[in-house]
Amino acid sequence: MVGIDIFTGKKYEDICPSTHNMSVPNVKRVEYSLMDIDNEGYVSLLDDSSECRNDIKLPEGELGTEIRSKFENGEALKITVLQALGEEAIVTCKAEQESRK
């Protein structure tokens, strides 16, 4: 059996007899509107019920750079956050229908 860590991309392999059960994590995918990025890299996110979150950090690397660049250029973005096993991470971004001005 092969599994890929959804947060790190690391590949895991294991052998399991067909008579045993395997546990599968419950993964939740939520889209938020990006409202702001602070100086420390934390994002302000707004969900569909107008609840604001400020506890998720912008990812490092290419995705984080892309989000910051698009936000600074005035693009309105939808941010996708994956939640599983007590962890949360921003995994994608896409343009919203109308841009913020």
| Strand (E) or helix (H) holding 72 | helix 62-72
| Strand (E) or helix (H) holding 61 | none
* Residue 98: band (very low, low, confident or very high) from pLDDT cuts 50, 70, 90: low
Distance from C-alpha of 11 to C-alpha of 95, rounded to nearest angstrom: 30
Distance from C-alpha of 50 to C-alpha of 32, rounded to nearest angstrom: 10
pLDDT in tens, 10-57: 999 988 888 888 888 899 999 999 999 999 999 999 999 999 999 999
* Predicted TM-score of the model (pTM): 0.79
CATH code of 25-95, in short, is 2.40.50.140
Q: Where are the domains of the chain?
A: 25-95
